[in-house]
Chains A and B, each alone.
Chain A
Amino acid sequence: MIRVEHLQKKFGNSEVLKDINFKVDENDVVVIIGPSGSGKSTLLRCVAKLENATSGDIFFNDTKMTEEDHKLCELKGKLGMVFQHFNLFPNLTVLQNITLAPILVKKIEKKEAVEDAKYLLDLVGLGEKAGAYPHSLSGGQKQRVAIARSLAMHPQLMLFDEPTSALDPEMVGEVLQVMKKLANEGMTMIIVTHEMGFARQVSNRVLFMDGGHIVEENTPDELFDHPIHQRTQDFLAKVLV
Chain B
Amino acid sequence: MTSFNFQLIIDYLPYFFKGIIYTIGFSIASIALGTVFGLLIALGKMLPNKFLAAPFKGYVGLFRGTPLLVQILVINFGVVPLVLGKSNSIVAGILALSLNSSAYIAEIFRSGIQAVSEGQGEAAATLGLSPNQTMLHIILPQAVKIILPPLGNEFISLIKDSSLASVISAPEVTYWAQAMNAQYYRVWEPYLTSGLIYLILTLSISSILHSVERRLAVND
Contact = CB atoms under 8 A, between A and B. Distances in A.
Interface of A: 48-50, 72-73, 75-81, 83, 85, 87-91, 100-101, 104-106, 133, 135, 146, 149-150, 153
B29 interface: no
Q: 8 closest pairs, A vs B, by CB?
A: A87-B123, A101-B127, A77-B128, A76-B128, A87-B119, A105-B128, A81-B126, A91-B141
Interface of B: 117, 119-120, 122-131, 133, 137-138, 141-142, 219-220
Nearest to B133: A104
Interface-centre pick from B120, B126, B138, B141 (highest chain A CB count, 10 A): B126
Contacts of A78: 128
Contacts of A50: 122, 125-126
25 contacts: A50-B122, A72-B126, A73-B125, A73-B130, A73-B131, A75-B128, A77-B127, A78-B128, A81-B122, A81-B123, A87-B120, A87-B123, A88-B123, A89-B124, A89-B142, A90-B220, A91-B138, A101-B124, A101-B127, A101-B128, A105-B127, A105-B128, A146-B123, A150-B126, A153-B127
Nearest to A85: B119
Contacts of A49: 125
Contact of B127 (A85, A91, A133, A149): A149
B49 to A, nearest CB: 13
Contacts of A83: 119, 122-123
Contacts of B220: 90, 135
B137 A100 contact: yes
A77 B126 contact: yes
A133 B218 CA distance: 11
Nearest to B122: A50
A85 B117 CA distance: 11
Contacts of A91: 138, 141-142, 219
A101 B120 CA distance: 13
Contact of A73 (B117, B128, B138, B219): B128
A205 B57 CA distance: 51
B219 A133 contact: yes
B136 to A, nearest CB: 9
Nearest to B120: A87
Interface-centre pick from B120, B123, B128, B130 (highest chain A CB count, 10 A): B128
A153 B139 CA distance: 21
A101 B128 CA distance: 7
A88 B124 CA distance: 9
Contacts of A104: 129, 133, 137
A149 B120 CA distance: 13
A156 to B, nearest CB: 13
Contacts of A149: 127
A76 B127 CA distance: 6
Contacts of A135: 219-220
Given A87-B120, A133-B219, A135-B219, A48 B141 contact: no
Given A50-B126, A89-B123, 10 more contacts: A72-B128, A77-B126, A81-B126, A87-B119, A87-B123, A90-B142, A90-B220, A105-B128, A149-B127, A150-B127
